[in-house]
């Protein structure tokens, strides 16, 4: 019963929901153990504007799969999106941190996830609100770290109208 209430609360205070897809490449010393080093991910991100709407606190959940989906992660992260021109649109940086759990072909892995992302949030054109980003993610586990470089595209769904004053 508590889960639906929490979900309703989060959706009520959030003003933007982003559906995202990503293509990524695994890099670093653990990348050699994968026969296919490219993967695909889907993510759902909630953002709550702060600072007169120019920045946002973000929360994200996603699924990443690679190597013919014999390996993958479920990730849960929180972050802060900072727009460089202070308008809420345009070029932004977004550090994130969270937790990832999944499997690496023959073993279960889990650990802390950190992300450095840069992107561009386009001004809305009608109902189309695009966000394009590049990110570097590290997942630190007991078996070593897994590093990914990804290209992401997102469509933002506004849950409430953005006020011109905020």
**b (16+ CB within 10 A) / e for 84-111:** eeeebbeebebebebebebebeeeebbb
**pLDDT tens digits, one per residue of 19-39:** 888 999 989 877 777 777 889
- Is the whole-model pTM more than 0.85? no
pLDDT at 14 over 90: no
3 state DSSP class of 7: helix
**pLDDT tens digits, one per residue of 43-58:** 999 888 888 878 999 9
CA gap 146, 166 in Å, rounded: 39
CA gap 130, 90 in Å, rounded: 11
**pLDDT tens digits, one per residue of 97-155:** 999 999 877 788 999 999 999 999 999 888 778 999 999 999 999 988 889 999 999 98
What pLDDT does residue 12 have? 47
What pLDDT does residue 52 have? 80
Strand partners, 81: 56
Under a CB-based contact definition with an 8 Å cutoff, are residues 16 and 44 in contact?
A: no
Task: Report the candidate in 65, 64, 70, 75 with the shortest Cα–Cα distance to residue 112.
Answer: 75
What pLDDT does residue 157 have? 73
What pLDDT does residue 166 have? 36
What pLDDT does residue 71 have? 80
Domains belonging to the chain, first-starting first, are: 2-158 (2.40.160.20)
**pLDDT tens digits, one per residue of 58-86:** 999 999 988 666 788 999 999 999 999 98
Strand partners, 141: 144
pLDDT at 3 over 80: no
Under a CB-based contact definition with an 8 Å cutoff, are residues 110 and 140 in contact?
A: no
**Which DSSP letter does residue 67 get?**
T
């Amino acid at each position: 019963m508590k889960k639906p209430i929490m979900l309703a609360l989060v959706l009520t205070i959030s003003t933007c929901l982003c559906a995202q897809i990503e293509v990524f490449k695994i890099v670093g010393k653990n990348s050699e153990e994968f026969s296919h080093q490219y993967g695909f991910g889907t993510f759902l991100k909630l953002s709550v504007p702060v600072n007169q709407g120019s920045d946002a606190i973000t929360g994200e959940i996603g699924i990443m799969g690679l190597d013919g989906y014999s390996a993958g992660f479920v990730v849960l992260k929180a972050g802060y999106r900072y727009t460089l021109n202070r308008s809420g649109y345009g070029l932004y940086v977004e550090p994130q941190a969270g937790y990832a759990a999944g499997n690496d072909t023959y073993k279960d892995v889990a650990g802390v996830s950190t992300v450095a992302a840069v992107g561009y949030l386009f001004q809305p054109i009608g109902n189309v609100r695009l966000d394009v980003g590049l990110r570097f993610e590290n997942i630190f586990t007991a078996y070593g770290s897994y590093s990914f470089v990804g290209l992401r595209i997102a469509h933002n769904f506004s849950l409430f109208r953005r006020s011109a004053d905020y």
